[in-house]
């Protein structure tokens, strides 16, 4: 009659850590790690052991005592995936335990590799150590290895100053005071904003500025799904807004309303930055937000 085997669970543990002396070879390895260098030791046969050992595991011969800096980059020779890291693992994200042949070494080091994506993990992958900020002389001074950078994303940013000509300067000076300045063509009576000195349609002169309200109506708009530094969130809406009294719309952001609720004919008002933050630029107007008035029938 079969019976269950007797099982006793044993745990061997040294709470608080088991202090052992490293010996000169491993000690040298750990001391170099503290300086963010990885060294191996040369064997009597001329190979380089990483991590270094007192004896060549292949021949049993003592090593030479010649230390050789290797890596820090290396090549993954084989690996196994750890989807759910344990507390005792070096990282708290999914990673691979990998054998890494550091450049210049004849043996491979076991360490964690954190790729950008599990599917990127492969033998032959080139990796580099990611160091702990404050190395202490421990193998965990290397947090983990990460794939070598094979592509970079360069930030592209062009900054330029547009020197405002006479009429644009007049307009921006108005914007700094929180006023939108347009002008009326003497010949055709059309009102343009921003202010300009000649009518773009008939060429007639526009001798004076005309103060326009900061309210208007959306004539047409676009929903944008790519982020823009000026927009509060994605998606955001850019719109042509016909200021009350103007004959030509201006382009601006629309916010304060879900993108899908924006519509033609919607009434909006400029949302200005606080007076203390204003400069002579259109950045003074954060965006236009709905006023809540009934929609306007567009002709």
Interface with Zn ion by CB under 5 A: which residues? 185, 187-188, 199, 201-202, 204
Q: Which residue, 189 or 234, has its beta carbon nearer to Zn ion?
A: 189
Q: How far is the CB of 246 from Zn ion (least distance, A)?
A: 13
| Full strand arrangement of the beta sheet holding 67-70 | 48-49, 38-42, 67-70
In whole angstroms, how close is the CB of 220 to Zn ion at the nearest point? 23
Integer CA distances (angstroms), 35 to 30, 68, 251, in order:
9, 14, 57
In the complex with Zn ion, the residue whose CB is nearer, 110 or 188, is: 188
Name the residue nearer to Zn ion (CB basis): 202 or 273: 202
Peptide bond into 144 cis (omega under 30): no
Q: Provide the minimum distance between the beta carbon of 181 and Zn ion in the complex, in angstroms, as a whole number.
A: 17
Q: Which is nearer to Zn ion, 202 or 234 (CB)?
A: 202
- Start-end of H helices in 84-197: 166-176
Least separation in angstroms between CB 258 and Zn ion: 39
Residue 136 CA to residue 32 CA, distance in Å, equals 10
- Least separation in angstroms between residue 191's CB and Zn ion is 10
Q: For residues 145 and 192, which CB has a smaller minimum distance to Zn ion in the complex? A: 192
The answer to whether residues 53 and 40 touch, using CB atoms and an 8 Å cutoff, is: no
Exposure string of 146-175, with b = 16+ CB inside 10 Å and e = fewer, is ebeeeeeeeeeeeeeeeeeeebeebbbebb
């Amino acid at each position: 009659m079969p019976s269950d085997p007797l099982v006793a669970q044993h745990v061997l543990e040294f709470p608080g850590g088991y202090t052992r002396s490293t010996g000169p070879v491993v000690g040298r390895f750990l001391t170099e790690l503290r300086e963010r260098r990885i060294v191996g030791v040369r064997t009597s046969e001329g190979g380089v052991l990483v991590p270094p050992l007192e004896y060549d595991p292949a021949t049993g011969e003592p090593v030479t005592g010649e230390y050789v800096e290797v890596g820090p980059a290396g090549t993954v020779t084989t690996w196994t995936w750890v989807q759910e890291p344990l507390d005792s693992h070096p990282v708290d994200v999914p990673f691979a335990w990998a054998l890494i042949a550091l450049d210049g070494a004849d043996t491979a080091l076991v360490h964690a590799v954190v790729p950008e994506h599990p599917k990127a993990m492969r033998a032959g992958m080139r990796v580099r150590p990611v160091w702990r900020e404050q190395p202490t002389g421990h193998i965990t001074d290397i947090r983990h290895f990460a794939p070598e950078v094979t592509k970079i994303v360069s930030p592209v940013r062009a900054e330029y100053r547009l020197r405002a000509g006479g009429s644009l300067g007049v307009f921006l000076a108005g914007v700094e005071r929180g006023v939108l300045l347009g002008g009326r063509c003497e010949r055709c009576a059309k009102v343009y904003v921003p202010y300009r000195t000649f009518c773009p349609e008939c060429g007639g002169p526009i001798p004076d500025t005309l103060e326009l309200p900061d309210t208007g109506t959306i004539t047409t708009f676009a929903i944008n799904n790519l982020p823009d530094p000026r927009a509060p969130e994605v998606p955001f809406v850019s719109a042509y807004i016909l200021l009350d009294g103007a004959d030509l719309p201006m382009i601006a952001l629309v916010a304060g309303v879900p993108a899908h609720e924006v519509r033609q004919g919607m009434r909006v008002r400029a949302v200005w930055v606080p007076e203390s933050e204003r400069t002579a630029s259109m950045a003074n107007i954060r965006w236009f937000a709905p006023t809540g008035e009934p929609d306007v029938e567009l002709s």
